[in-house]
Structure 1
Amino acid sequence: MATDGVTEQRGYKPFLPMLMSYVASGGSLVLGSAAQLLTFAILARWLGVHEFSVFVAITAVANIAVHLCGLGAMECLVRRVARDRAIYPQMLGHNIILTSGSGAALVLLGAVVLPFFFTLSPDRMTNVAVITLMLVTNILLVRVIVLTEQIFIAHTDFASANKVVVGFAAARTVAAALACIAFGATTVASWAVWQFLCHVLVAVCCMWSVRLLGAPSYRLVREELPQGLYFSIPFILRALRQNADLLVLSLVTTAEIVASYSVARRILESSYLSVEALNRLIYPGSARATAAGLHHALQRVRRVLAAATVISLAAAVTVFVLAPILPYLFGKEYLSLVGFARTLCWVVVPLAMWSVAVEALGASGDHAARAAVMGFGSIAGTGLAAWASWYAPPAGTFISFYVIEIAMVVASWSVFLHFVRRDRQAAITFGSGSA
């Protein structure tokens, strides 16, 4: 009996076009990752230890808030439009409403609260203005730019999506070079203006680039509201976990260890981009393949797992080999950087492995299960990372990192395989009933 939806073809031949697409965009993604790392290096050198630490702290807060901005609406745009492009105007309007509303609320809240914790200027009003400018830049404008990337992914236009990523990274690098090297910016307050102007320019270009795809239809797609929350909350919790260790280390260790660890963490995030790029290419096709059940995409997900593991191993080896040149980029005061980078680089492998499983759950619309895995993992990870960083810094921090990520591999794949068995059994039961 035939099943509805997309049934996956066997063999590796159907997988080749996707791999070719990934290879074709690989050079651009490497350039984008290198540009992000170079931007971080310029800011680390020119802002100095104190200003750079303040910049990292405010950016960390914004990184948490940006996952809440839009309430997860971008995922449903990719998933729904990949299956039916006629729904694009409604999904675009849904995104604009939620992004603008939640973004404005987050910026307002941050502008009220953060000036009590961070001082970027001795003048109170200037301090509030600079922090507000940074929040608008790193929450609202970043969300607009990322939304453009997701719009192109939803339409399977990966070349344009890659141009957005690389163009954004290059623009930030140029802005950092102009601000710090050419014009001598050495404070977060001065960099905030350059950063804002850069993001405005990129956001305007992004909005112009998607104008021909269709105008938005402004209405909420109510059935996607809980799905969006299920999607975004795990990322918020994960962002909290990723900053718990930094916060505790800042209380119990030296500034050099905190600075070197934060740079090593950024390098780890950059090395994961190669895996994230694969997940971006996979997601629309997986959404179509799982429309009639997650079991239809089992072989596809296994192939993705193999590819992600190979890619992450290559990224880890590259970081390990090139680590000795990092002090030349970031400054010789980062004494622990090489050792920290070499210790953390292998974390990308288990991170890549469990990301494949949760991305498959997301593509199939099983966001409650996905949220449970990522949410509970982040909550437990926050406690473990904070305790280990306090008890035995920084060795405990590194051990907790590996324990958390390996546990996530076990949990995510267990849940994924459970849902595969559930959907397969449901299909058999439905087929028997129909017969």
Structure 2
Amino acid sequence: MASEGITDSRGYKPFLPMVLSYMASSGSLVLGSVAQLLTFSILARWLGVHEFSAFVAITAVANIAVHLCGLGAMESLVRRVARDHAIYPQMLGHNILLTAASGLVLVLIGAGVLPIFFTLSPDPVTNFVVIALMLITNIVLVRIIVLIEQIFIAHSDFSSANKVVVAFAVARTVAAALACIVFGVSTIASWAIWQFVCHVLLAAVCMRAIGGLGEPRYCILREELPQGLYFSIPFILRALRQNADLLVLSLVTTAEIVSSYSVARRMLESSYLSVEALNRLIYPGSARVSAAGLHHALQLVLRVLAAAIVISLAAAVTVFVLAPILPYLFGREYISLVGFVRILCWVVVPLAVWSVAVEALGASGYHAARAAVMGLGSIVGAGLAAWASWYAPPAGTFVSFYLIEIAMVVAAWGVFLRYVRRDRELAELDLPAGRAHEG
């Protein structure tokens, strides 16, 4: 892969394939982000404040659960298949079994609990069905579609992976436009059906697209279970952290501030996609380069860091400049939106810096260390964000955001460099690196 050439090639020509791949990858994610933002604005306008707030709340719960669906098996597939394509049938079967089992449990739990807090229909049966449909859509079907994208990445077929990203975003936007603008859908109960059908059709097309890569061999690879959990738990904790400030703000401040802040957060996530595009491009190559020790990937990671800083700065500047157009998309009632977006947009820089280190730890198989950094950061961050949002909303929320991300930079790079030194010392002693056997 082109990314591997970074470690041993000179001149600009070896970088050209990687630059072109990045442009395609980032372009697909940015296009997907724009489509998601458009979908968000359509739903916000047509569903109305109360329906949209319930939709966002249920989706937030699903966004936490989706990281648990599959128990992290997706990352195992990318890492293992990138190193050896012959293991793909086993890894695919491993993913299907874990996704089906965990998805069923998560949907049943959510469908049993969420109706207690959300009434989307006066009829209890209809309320249960609507919530169940939303959970199936946003947990199981989303996981299937993302898994197929990752399968293409594991095979270094970034073109097909980009097509999945774009198709996913565009399909949801088209569904929202048809449902709300053309057919006048204005309730979650109606939108849930449109959303479900859209995801089913897209998942079917995506599954057909990977048919030529091989049939699954159904088995559970027990050695990958802890690795998968190490990978998924930090994302679950991070999702919890990302909702702590919103929850507290909803208790202590106005609906307009909460709404504007939630949109600003969505803009931050969108701007980070330019860095995510780089990480997803580098990940398979990093897995191969670091197979004999993390120290072999050090130069690659440092160059990725430099690129990530440049890209994140460019993304922050772009969001800052374009912020004034957001009220035209979401409505004039979002009075604080432009100011909030301009305050938060710079957070993407420290976020990009520490993400490079944790992605390198993941690619090298150091999932326990990666989980420790992200997990502890999320737990402490959730507490700090909640306290700051309660003590001095919303200024305290913004301050805590920056403090958390800067602390994550220090922690992630400290752990990364420690494991680089350890692998180098083991190599000098002619001992095997302990990446895959951290237990």
Taking structure 2 as the reference length, the TM-score comes to 0.96
SS of residue in 2 equivalent to 1:291: helix
SS of residue in 1 equivalent to 2:429: helix
SS of residue in 1 equivalent to 2:195: helix
Q: Is the 8 A contact 1:6 1:292 kept in 2?
A: no
Q: Is the 8 A contact 2:227 2:367 kept in 1?
A: yes
Q: Is the 8 A contact 1:6 1:296 kept in 2?
A: no
The 5-angstrom pairing of residues 175-324 of structure 1 reads 175-324=175-324
2:169 maps to which residue?
169
Q: 1:12 to 1:383 in 2, by over 3 A?
A: farther
Q: Is the 8 A contact 1:361 1:416 kept in 2?
A: yes
Partner Cα separation in structure 1 for residue 34 and residue 111 of structure 2: 32
Deviations 1:353-408 (A, max 9, x none): 10000000000000000000000000000000000000000110011000000100
Partner Cα separation in structure 1 for residue 99 and residue 26 of structure 2: 30
Partner Cα separation in structure 1 for residue 6 and residue 204 of structure 2: 40
SS of residue in 1 equivalent to 2:291: coil
Aligned residues: 428
What is the letter of the counterpart of residue 229 of structure 1? L
What is the letter of the counterpart of residue 9 of structure 1? D
Alpha-carbon RMSD: 1.5
2:24 maps to which residue?
24
Partner Cα separation in structure 2 for residue 280 and residue 60 of structure 1: 24
Partner Cα separation in structure 2 for residue 70 and residue 124 of structure 1: 30
Q: 1:184 to 1:160 in 2, by over 3 A?
A: same
The 5-angstrom pairing of residues 403-414 of structure 1 reads 403-414=403-414
Partner Cα separation in structure 2 for residue 221 and residue 6 of structure 1: 32
The 5-angstrom pairing of residues 35-434 of structure 1 reads 35-430=35-430
Partner Cα separation in structure 2 for residue 296 and residue 11 of structure 1: 17
Partner Cα separation in structure 1 for residue 262 and residue 268 of structure 2: 10
Q: 1:425 to 1:11 in 2, by over 3 A?
A: farther
What is the letter of the counterpart of residue 218 of structure 2? Y
Partner Cα separation in structure 2 for residue 285 and residue 51 of structure 1: 44
Deviations 1:163-212 (A, max 9, x none): 00000000000001011111111111111111101101110011000000
Shift of 1:28: 2.9
Shift of 1:11: 4.0
Gap runs ≥5 in structure 1: none
Partner Cα separation in structure 2 for residue 271 and residue 12 of structure 1: 30
Q: Is the 8 A contact 1:64 1:240 kept in 2?
A: yes
What is the letter of the counterpart of residue 57 of structure 2? A
Which range moved further: 194-203 or 14-23?
A: 14-23
Deviations 1:386-432 (A, max 9, x none): 00000000110011000000100000000000000000000001179
2:8 maps to which residue?
9
1:34 maps to which residue?
34
Partner Cα separation in structure 2 for residue 25 and residue 411 of structure 1: 28
